[in-house]
Structure 1
Amino acid sequence: MTARHARPHARGQASAVRDVLALMLLPVPLIVAALPGAFAGGGTRRWFGGRGESQRADAQAAKDAAAAAFLELDTAQRDLRISIETISAVDSSPGAHRAVDDFAALGQRIDEVSRRYITAVDAHDLDRDGLEASVAAHARGELTSAKDELVRVKADLDRFTQGLGPLLDKAETQLARLAPAVERARQALLAASNALDSARGSGLRADDLAARLAALAPELTMLNQGAGRHGVAETLQRADRVLRDAEAVRAEAERLPERAAETDKRLVSLRTRAEALTNRAGSVEPVLSELRRRFSAACWQDLQPVPEQAAISVRQAEEKLREAAKARDEQRWADATALLSTVRALLNATDEAVSAAGDRLRQLNAVAKDPQQEIDRTRFAIRDAQRLAMAGRNTPDPRHARPLDDAVARLERASVGLEGLHPDYWHFLMETEAVRRAAARVVEQIREDRGTGGA
């Protein structure tokens, strides 16, 4: 290189050194700002300083706030959707349907404000170089507005969530009941099956119980398929129904040996009673003969059919007993029980009819010997009612006095009827009994009136 050429080169090097030294003497921030393509926070954004960067920072803060509000709203909506799905799976009430509809309407509002938020974010690139202050301010306004809408909808969502409390509590309670209810139903079916096996082991067929238990098999299948397929409410109802029916089968199966023993005992007892009544019915005719000989026809005429009716009733009872024994041998327990109840009713009616003849003779003998005893007994009942009617009063209440006066007159007429040659003692006894019943009704009425604040 020639000197001529070297001098200009030396001068250029010196100039460059001076420039570097000058830059080294500047304050550090100005050095950074003066460097082309200076970095800000590790990015590639150009630094402009002043009001423009402040507007960009405000816009970015508004964007961050809107993003946080969007995230809170989205999280709350997701949580609420789980609650709504829980309620709708369990509760079919009008209140639950309204909650589902209201949630859907809220979902539409959330979609609208979310779209506006996303549109505002997409419309503004806050990281681009040369972002004008006015554009940043506009972005901040839109993002702040979007955030405010998100916050308002979130507040409405929170209020709606609080209002769901009772419905959600009810739904969660039912869900908590689900697994235990299904398990109880399964255990009840197992217990019923075991009880049925035990009954069969003792020689009892229990065909009807086996059929009832078999009818529950499809219900068990649906329980095993679960609430996801059949719904929580329906599954709970099915579990309760299976539990109830299975427990009924179990109880009857466990009681079956006892029921068989009771049926056998009743058969023996009723056969013995039928034989005894056959013998007692034979004594009615002598009683009727004495009644006919000693008393007027009015005293015994209604008893004339008793011997024949007793014989017919006993024969019917014996026939039903044979049918009941056959039903027991065939283990038709319900039929056997019904037939034995019919036998008991027939024998009760026969027993009453046979006893009526002997009772009639004893009553007539007593009143024929001393009718005054029956009269005194009836007068005492009337006087007792009269004393109660006058207690605490100067004059009796007409509602009480009138039937008591009628009772006195009726007793007098019945007493006079005994003065004939062939008195109707049975009519006399019926009259005195009716008078005593009338006096008892007055006593009852007085006590009722005083118990309720009446006279």
Structure 2
Amino acid sequence: MTATPREPNSPLEPRAPRPVRDTLTLVALPLLVTLALPGAFAGGGTRRWFGGGGAENRRAEAQAAKDAAAAAFYELDTAQRDLRISIEAITAVDDSPAARRAVADFDALGRRIDEASHRYIEAVDSYDLDRDDLEASVAARARTDLTAAKDELGRVKQDLDRFADGLGPLLGKAETQLARLAPAVERARQALLAASNALDAVRAAGLRADDLAARLAALAPELTKLNQGAGQHGVPQTLERAERVARAAEAVRAEAHELPEKAAGIDHRLVSLRTRAQALTTRAGQVDPVLSELRRRFTAACWQDLQQVPDEAVENVRQAERKLREAQSARDAQRWPDATALLSTVRALLTATDESVSAAGDRLHRLNAVQKDPQQEIDRTRFAIRDAQRLAMSGRTTPDPRHARPLDDAVARLDRAVGTLEGRHPDYWHFLTETEGVREAVARVVGQIRDERGGGQ
């Protein structure tokens, strides 16, 4: 409420009490006049100083009404000020339709408060209750007008109270977010400080961590906005910014903390992969004797896919050694992501080489075993087929065609594979790949049966 009563009738400032000597003078004056002028009251033109006992009663009633109206005015003004603080808290946090409606309703109440306040001020300004010649009728009108103003102020206060009660959920949400604001900003500041300290420790250990420093420097503008406060950038936006800064700073701190260990890990991998590359160079040189024996004892189909293994192994090891040198350079320059990526490439090259070199020896071992005793491979495959057939017939009088057909095909396929062993130069590798394929097909049928029964079918 912006309007205030005009002096000297403002209820905001109590009127100073009349000095005692003035009161005594007023009481004594009629007596002195009477003594001095014995015939003064004989004529009809004399003026009365007071309106009599009735006028004084009306004056007292009007003054009481004025005091009550002033109290109602102050009460309404205080409630409006308190509620404005709540509305400002809501608008700082919430931009939902409900919050916007609350602001509009508060503005409407504010206009009613202004109207009621204006009526009160007019009533106060219209009557000087301290006048010595105040008439009883004027005092009565003053009491009526001031009482009406007080009642209107009370009705508006009741509406304001009801409105305040309805703000509970919105105000609770706003207070919750405002309560989170200061701790969130402080956490962000502490996270930035911790990240900065971690970087200092890393640099003291001789590690530059330039990428981490750049990431931390990029957060400086965000810290500036946090320091400017929610009043400039909004509470929700400041909360979101504080949480984002805290997460980013914590990531920098964690990576800085792990950097010495990462550097040591890269050093260890460099040594380990060099050793592995050297060992593979030695193993690759042993592939040629294996291939020579395969060529001498078995048909071309058993070894021709391995012909390129020695050359590929040498080339892969050469590439791995070149990548290792690049990784060492990246590590020396403390380009940690580059070093890590290069070491991953080296590992992949050496793993592929290891598998191809091992494949030649494994091939010779398996061919030797099947040449010596092919029945063992046949029995292993037939057992898998019979086990699947028993499962397919479990709880049934006739097998499900979806299961029986692939199992029958597996039997026929095994028989054909066994047939390839007849002749002067059997293709043992074809036989091994076929039996392995049969077992894989049978395993798929078993898995299908178990899935169906496990699902209640």
Under a length normalisation based on structure 1, what TM-score does the superposition of the two structures give?
0.80
Match for 2:189: what amino acid? R
CA shift digits 1:296-317 (9 cap, x unpaired): 2222222112111111111111
Q: Mean alpha-carbon deviation: is it higher for 264-273 or for 216-225?
A: 216-225
**RMSD over aligned Cα atoms:** 3.1
Structure 1 residues 386 and 206, CA, compared in 2 at 3 Å: closer, same or farther? same
Amino acid at match of 1:182: V
Which 5+ residue runs of structure 1 have no aligned equivalent? 1-12, 20-34, 39-44
How far apart in 2 are the matches of 1:426 and 1:374?
12
Q: Which residue of 1 aligns with 2:262?
A: 259
One-letter amino acid of the structure 1 residue matched with residue 334 of structure 2: Q
1:43-74: CA deviations, max 9, x gaps?
xx64337xx967x8877766665554443333
Matched residue, 1:390: 393
CA distance in structure 1 between the partners assigned to 2:399 and 2:127 by the alignment: 105
How far, CA to CA, are the matches of 1:449 and 1:60 in structure 2?
A: 95
**Could you tell which deviates more after superposition, 62-71 or 169-178?**
62-71
Query: What does the per-residue CA deviation read over 1:137-195, in whole Å, with 9 as the maximum and x for residues that have no partner?
Result: 7973x666655554444344333323322322222222222222222222222222222
Provide the rounded CA distance (Å) in 1 between the counterparts of 2:444 and 2:153: 81
Kept in 2, the 8 Å contact 1:46–1:130? The answer is no
Task: After TM superposition, list the pairs within 5 Å mapping 1:314-353 onto structure 2.
Answer: 314-353=317-356
Report if the CA contact (8 A) 1:120-1:139 is conserved: no
Match of 2:80 in 1: 77
Instruction: Give % identity.
Output: 75
Q: Is the 8 A contact 2:66 2:146 kept in 1?
A: yes
Structure 1 stretches (4+) deviating beyond 6 angstroms?
56-62, 124-128
Per the TM alignment, residue 278 of structure 1 is displaced from its structure 2 partner at its CA by 1.0
Aligned partners of 1:63 and 1:389: how far apart in 2?
A: 102
Q: 1:132 aligns with which of 131, 137, 162?
A: 137
Matches within 5 A, 1:29-428: 37=49, 46-48=52-54, 66-119=69-122, 122=125, 129-132=134-137, 136=140, 140=144, 147=150, 149-428=152-431
Secondary structure at 1:192 match in 2: helix
| CA deviations over 1:272-303 (Å, ceiling 9, x no partner) | 11111111111112222222222222222221
Q: Match of 1:132, as an amino acid?
A: S
Equivalenced residues, count: 413
Q: CA deviation at 1:321?
A: 0.4
The alpha-carbon distance between structure 1 residues 146 and 36, as it changes in their structure 2 partners (threshold 3 A), is closer
- 1:77 is aligned with what amino acid? Q
1:384 CA displacement:
2.1
Distance apart, 1:391 and its partner CA? 2.4
> Structure 1, residues 213-240: CA drift from partner, whole Å, max 9, x if none?
3333333333333333333333323322
Q: Report which stretch shifted further, 384-393 or 340-349.
A: 384-393
Kept in 1: contact 2:327–2:338 (CA 8 A): yes
Q: Which amino acid aligns with 1:216?
A: L
- In the alignment, the residues of structure 1 paired with residue 151 and residue 182 of structure 2 have an alpha-carbon distance, to the nearest angstrom, of 45
Cα contact 1:310–1:353 (8 A) shared by 2 = yes
- In 1, the alpha carbon distance for the partners of 2:143 and 2:411 equals 111
Distance 1:146 1:436, change over 3 A: farther
d(CA) in 2 for partners of 1:159, 1:401: 79
TM, length-normalised to structure 2: 0.80
Counterpart Cα distance in 2 of 1:145 and 1:383? 105
CA gap 1:107/1:401 in 2 versus in 1, 3 angstroms: farther
- The answer on whether the counterparts of 2:127 and 2:142 sit within 8 Å (CA) in structure 1 is no
Query: Which amino acid is 2:135 matched to?
Result: G
The 8 Å contact of residues 126 and 136 in structure 1, kept in 2 or not, is answered as no
